[in-house]
Amino acid sequence: MTSSSAPPVIVWFRDDLRLSDHPALHAAAETDAPLVLLYVLDEESTSLRPPRGRAIGSASRWWLAQSLRSLQASLAARGQTLVLRSGAAARVISDLAQDIEAASVHWIESDVPSQSAVERDVTAALKEIGVQARGFPGDLLVKPASLRNKEGRGLRVFTPFWKRVLSLGDPPQPLPVPKKLKPGPAVASDDLASWNLEPKHPDWAGGLRDTWTPGESAAQTRLHDFLETGIKGYATLRDRPDRDGTSRLSPHLRFGEISPRQVWHAANFAAAQKPDIASDVGKFLSELGWREFSRHLLFDLPDLAEKNLQSSFDAFPWRRDAKALRAWQRGRTGYPIVDAGMRELWHTGVMHNRVRMVVASFLVKHLLIDWRHGEKWFWDTLVDADPGSNPASWQWVAGSGADAAPYFRVFNPVLQGEKFDPDGAYVSRWVPELARLSAKLIHQPWEATPMELAAAGVTLGENYPEPMVDHKAARARALAAYAKTREP
Which active-site residues does the annotation give? 287, 290, 318, 353, 371, 394
DSSP 212-271: ---SHHHHHHHHHHIIIII-TTHHHHTT-TTS--S---HHHHHTTSS-HHHHHHHHHHHH
Measured distance CA(448)–CA(442) in Å, rounded: 9
Positive or negative torsion for Cα 274, 280, 284, 290:
positive
Q: Is the dihedral of CA 158, 163, 165, 171 positive or negative?
A: positive
Question: CA-CA-CA-CA torsion for 289, 292, 297, 303, nearest 10 degrees?
Answer: 130
CB 409, CB 398: distance < 8 Å? no
Q: How many CB atoms lie within 10 A of CB 317?
A: 11
Annotated binding site: 234, 246-250, 284, 384-386
User: Any idea how long the chain is?
Assistant: 488
Residues in the annotated binding site for FAD: 234, 246-250, 284, 384-386
Q: Are 155 and 161 in contact (CB under 8 A)?
A: yes
